Amino acid sequence: MDLKQIKEVIRLMKENDLTDFELEKEGFKIVLRKENKLPSPQIIPQIPQPYYAPQHQMPQTVHHTEVHTAQGSSAPSPKEDEKNIAYILSPMVGTFYAAPSPESPPYVQKGQQIGEDDIVCIVEAMKVFNEINAEVSGTIVEILVENGSPVEFGQKLFKVKKA
């Protein structure tokens, strides 16, 4: 391979945005490498976190549903049961998990009594598993989200009859 052919290979590498060229022929070997001007991206290995190992707790907000009627209105008064209902909401966007691992039973079930400090589920956000506390005492009336489904910030997860 002569100098003219090498220059032609270099021109073709530039035109086609190639970074490497290697040729070996009859005892002759040429290797051409174009240095990348941009810093090469660093690949940082991610160590997968076990599903059952929550790492961080986020404060849980509980909203109470109340129905107000205008004074002197003929609107029917709310049922006694609805006055004592609270909802446990998702504190973040993520994925809802009802149990600490796929083999484990769920943290809570419909009809179960819970206390304010009881863990009711996990919400995974960006590979961080966040335990969600009830922050309300009472009985689980309804589980509003399916296991493994995505949840939004402020989305209702559980309906609770307050104690």
- For 5-61, how does the pLDDT look when each residue is reduced to its tens digit (9 = 90+)? 778 888 887 888 777 778 787 777 888 777 665 555 666 666 565 555 444 444 454
Q: Which two tokens stand for residue 122?
A: 């996990």
Assess contact for 24 and 97: CB atoms under 8 A: no
Q: What is the pTM of this model?
A: 0.51
DSSP code per residue over 35-102: PPSSPPPP-PPPPPPPTT---EE----EEE------TT--SPPPPHHHHTEEEEE-SSSEEEESSSST
Amino acid identity for residue 121 in this structure: C
Longest distance between any two alpha carbons in the chain, whole Å: 103
Q: How confident is the model at residue 63 (pLDDT cuts 50, 70, 90)?
A: very low
Domains in the chain and their CATH numbers?
3-33 (no CATH), 56-66+78-162 (2.40.50.100)
Residue 65's alpha-carbon distances to 41, 81, 83, 163, in angstroms, are 50, 11, 7, 15
Residue 85 to residue 127: CA distance in whole angstroms:
32
